[in-house]
């Protein structure tokens, strides 16, 4: 059974954020969306809840981070292959985000890039060849 995860993100402009998340492939769940929030479904297991900053503040007694100034979370998204990683970063940039905020990671068995949404939340799409990763870890552990 899939256990869904809801990642709540404070945003400055719900319609602008909604449009960005649609650009990167999410679909809106209208049942949980309205003027102060958009439920953007990435997969059966993951939904991004885009909450107006003032609405987000009602859920916590702590200050709400400004993701354009500080890093509050890194959201890693596993993808099917390198081409999918590249395509997602291209979509993010086309939708108003910033691409490759740090150098591309290419370790052979793992390939990753990064982007931010318009509010500064950091995403790290990646592809990992699990068989090659296991072999690399095994080789690193074997002192011979």
Helix (H) or strand (E) holding 35: none
Tell me how crowded residue 111 is: count the other CB atoms within 10 A of its CB.
20
Token look-up 């009602």 returns: 58
What's the pLDDT score for residue 68? 93
What's the pLDDT score for residue 134? 77
Are the C-beta atoms of residues 115 and 90 closer than 8 Å to each other?
no
pLDDT 10s per residue in the chain (144 long)?
Answer: 889 999 999 999 999 999 999 999 999 999 999 999 999 999 999 999 999 999 999 999 999 999 999 998 999 999 999 999 999 999 999 999 999 999 999 999 899 999 999 999 999 999 998 887 777 777 777 766
Cα–Cα dist 144/5, whole Å: 43
Determine the straight-line distance between the first and last CA of the chain, rounded to whole angstroms.
42
Model-level pTM? 0.90
∠ at Cα 43 (38, 47), nearest 5°?
A: 30
What's the pLDDT score for residue 77? 97
């Amino acid at each position: 059974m899939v256990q869904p995860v809801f990642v709540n993100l404070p945003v400055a402009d719900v319609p602008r954020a909604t449009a960005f998340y649609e650009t990167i492939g999410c679909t809106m769940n209208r049942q949980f969306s309205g003027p102060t929030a958009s439920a953007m479904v990435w997969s059966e297991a993951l939904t991004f809840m885009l909450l107006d900053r003032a609405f987000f503040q009602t859920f916590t007694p702590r200050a709400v981070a400004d993701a354009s100034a500080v890093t509050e979370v890194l959201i890693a998204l596993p993808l099917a292959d390198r081409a999918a990683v590249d395509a997602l970063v291209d979509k993010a940039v086309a939708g108003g985000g910033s691409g490759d905020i740090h150098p591309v990671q290419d370790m052979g068995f793992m390939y990753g890039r990064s982007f931010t949404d318009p509010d500064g939340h950091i995403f790290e799409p990646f592809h990992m060849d699990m068989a090659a990763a296991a072999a690399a870890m095994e080789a690193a552990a074997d002192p011979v």
